[in-house]
Amino acid sequence: MAKTKQKKGVSKPATLPRNEGMPFDATIFEGININRSAVERRAATMGKRRSVKKQWQAAWLLKAVSCIDLTTLAGDDTRSNVSRLCAKAQSPVRQDLLKAMDMADAGLTVGAVCVYHNLIRDAVDALTQSNIPIAAVSTGFPAGQIGLEEKLKQIELSVAAGAKEIDIVVSRALVLNSDWQGLYNEVAACRKACGDAHIKTILATGEIPTYTKVAKASWVSMMAGSDFIKTSTGKESVNATIPVSLVMIRAIREYHELTGYKVGFKPAGGIRKAKQALNWLILMKEELGDDWLNPDLFRFGASSLLGDIERQLEHHVTGRYSASYRHPMA
């Protein structure tokens, strides 16, 4: 596997070549068979085969922070809580802790701020002093039950409002009915509508009945030019899991081998603990390699994860178990 030479600074805009996609070709993925039990066995042992302790744990947790899409996706989101979220995004870990770890000058921020369309403006206003990208969920998020024209319109409006990343949801019906050409067309159209904004395609894996279909949907999404593929909206009953992530990132690996394009991965929903974050980082390192341990190619969709990481970092620095009130809230 060719190693990219670019050094990726923290929260710098990606310099990686974007995935330009490829013409739809079902023969590439129609033979895919994913064995659920074997995938789950690998997933279950993944976190048991590797362990990061002491300064390694601290460094890995800081890396996890840099990969977080700090998210709020609630009906009662307003300018005030989004502003607070943005402030936290720019200064995710207490300065004294960073200093103790000799990381105060590392320019640590989260990977992005993720909001609904209506809040993009507020986020833009709050993030003037940083280049943290704003991600907007789009295309009838979370269910995607609107027409394609409306979806494209939403994307255009969000990009115009200042979103640099668009998290789209796929039409589940296309996946359930194995209408892969239809799915390709939909994602490709969204990609086009995004323009320079990066597109993260949410498969909503909790609503896809088999891992084989998850793998195929991953392939189609990548062929259609997705910059990232993402597990879930966070609103399904089952969201990001390690096994489903394993299936998706193996597809990313094969796509990279075939096309040379590196597609990013974003697990979202249910990732609340530092330990979980480490498991995902181990998964990325083991299955895809170190290039995928950066915000260019890896994000967590999470809202409460950061709080747990902060407490673990304080424990690393002080040796005392921390309390959440000791860390500034988002």
Catalytic residues: 167, 230, 266
Nearer to other proteins among residue 123 and residue 251 (C-beta): 251
33: which 2 tokens?
A: 């068979």
Site membership for other proteins, residue 298 (CB under 8 A) = no
Stretch that binds other proteins, among 118-126, 164-172, 225-233, 284-292 (CB under 8 A): 284-292
Q: Report how far residue 9's alpha carbon sits from residue 53's, in angstroms, rounded to the nearest whole number.
A: 24
Taking the least distance from each CB to other proteins, the nearer of 58 and 163 is 58
Structure-block tokens of residue 152: 């494209």
149 binds other proteins (CB under 8 A): no
The piece of 74-82, 127-135, 270-278, 285-293 that touches other proteins (CB under 8 A) is: 285-293
Binding mask 194-223 vs other proteins (x if CB under 8 A, - otherwise)?
A: ---------------xx-------------
User: Is 39 an interacting residue with respect to other proteins (CB under 8 A)?
Assistant: yes
Please pick, from the candidates 15, 35, 78, 304, the single residue that binds other proteins as defined by CB under 8 A. 35
**Counting contacts by CB under 8 A, is residue 95 touching other proteins?**
no
Residue 272 or 285 with smaller CB distance to other proteins:
285
C-beta of residue 126 within 8 angstroms of C-beta of residue 83: yes
Nearer to other proteins, 137 or 293 (CB): 293
Beta bridge partners of 298: 265
Separation between Cα atoms, residue 99 and residue 107, nearest integer Å: 12
Return the closest-CA partner of residue 245 out of 175, 299, 296: 299
CA 142 to CA 234: how far, in whole Å? 8
Beta strands in 47-174 (DSSP E): 68-71, 112-115, 134-137, 165-169
Q: How far apart are CA 274 and CA 298, in angstroms?
A: 16
Q: Indicate whether 54 belongs to the interface with other proteins (CB under 8 A).
A: yes
Is 106 a binding residue for other proteins by CB under 8 A? The answer is yes
- By CB under 8 A, is residue 145 in contact with other proteins? no
CB count, 10 Å around CB of 285? Answer: 16
Q: If residue 301 lies in a helix (H) or strand (E), which one and from where to where? A: strand 300-302
Stretch that binds other proteins, among 79-87, 190-198, 217-225, 286-294 (CB under 8 A): 286-294
Decide: is 15 part of the binding site for other proteins (CB under 8 A).
no
Q: Do 48 and 279 meet the contact criterion of CB atoms below 8 Å apart?
A: no
Quick check: 45 binds other proteins (CB under 8 A)?
yes
Residue 222 DSSP symbol: H
Q: What 3-state class would DSSP assign to 199?
A: strand
And the tokens for 305?
């994860």
Q: Does 52 bind other proteins (CB under 8 A)?
A: yes
Where do contacts with other proteins occur on this chain (CB under 8 A)? 1, 31, 33-42, 45, 48-56, 58-60, 62-63, 101-103, 106, 209-210, 250, 281, 285-286, 290, 293
